[in-house]
Structure 1
């Protein structure tokens, strides 16, 4: 892929060309074109309790 194509893809995706190059490198290494699944963070009842205690101080 040429730089002009990467710049066009970056502009279309609203991101930097460096990000597109990184996506391409990951796709080459993994053989996948889908984005990697991100781990999510969930607030548990215990965390909610600690946050509310902290907010009251």
Structure 2
């Protein structure tokens, strides 16, 4: 599981990440707390996964 910070309500929730072989990827997701739409960007840095979240309107 990876932790996601919602850019709208600033609450943290968890999602199951895709396999490293599918990264980089941009996920269209709704916050599990406030239901606001957001984009989750997943990148690789070697074997490490980098996670960024942003509001859909940005």
TM range (shorter): under 0.3
Between structures 1 and 2, the one with greater strand share? 2
Query: Higher helix share goes to which structure?
Result: 1
TM-score w.r.t. structure 1 length?
0.18
Relative contact order higher in (CA < 8 Å, ≥ 6 apart): 2
Q: Which has the larger radius of gyration?
A: 1
